[in-house]
């Protein structure tokens, strides 16, 4: 497995949001945050030795589930800046109009808050911070593997 995480110093895609990131709704931020985290986790599991598709999917779902994201947010809270904590609060309190399939409402709201934070960091181009936050979600599992 690669020791140094893959990091892009330029925009990944060329479509900026229609509004300033601070003006985007928390559900919109969570929508892009979900996609960013999914790609991050897929790259992470593909960096491992066992690349059978079924194995990749099962491993990925351990990270991208509402329950896992809620747990990660709880662990990350002491590391967040005041601005990030405010974004998390906006995401947690947002009414999404959908419900979780495999999580309770509290886990679902915390998962949305986590995704909202990632979306905010992505759209405000705080890419080093975004990578740091996402790396924190896999660090405990990397240590368990050693």
Active site residues: 34
Question: Residue 117 to residues 4, 43, 49, 76, 127: CA-CA distances in angstroms?
Answer: 23, 20, 30, 11, 12
Cβ density class 39-52: b for 16+ within 10 Å, e for less: ebbbebbeeeeeee
C-alpha closest to that of 32 among 137, 140, 141, 130: 130
């Amino acid at each position: 497995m690669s020791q140094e995480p893959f990091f892009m110093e330029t925009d990944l895609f060329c479509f900026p949001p229609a509004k300033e990131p601070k003006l985007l709704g928390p559900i919109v931020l969570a929508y892009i945050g979900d996609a960013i985290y999914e790609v991050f986790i897929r790259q992470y599991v593909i960096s491992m030795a066992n690349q059978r598709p079924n194995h990749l999917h099962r491993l990925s779902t351990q990270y991208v589930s509402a329950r896992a994201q809620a747990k990660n947010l709880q662990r990350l809270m002491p590391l967040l800046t005041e601005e990030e904590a405010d974004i998390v609060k906006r995401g947690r309190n947002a009414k999404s109009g959908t419900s979780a399939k495999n999580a309770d409402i509290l886990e679902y709201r915390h998962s949305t808050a986590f995704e909202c934070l990632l979306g905010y960091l992505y759209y405000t181009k705080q890419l080093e911070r975004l990578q740091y936050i996402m790396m924190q979600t896999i660090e405990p599992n990397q240590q368990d593997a050693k």
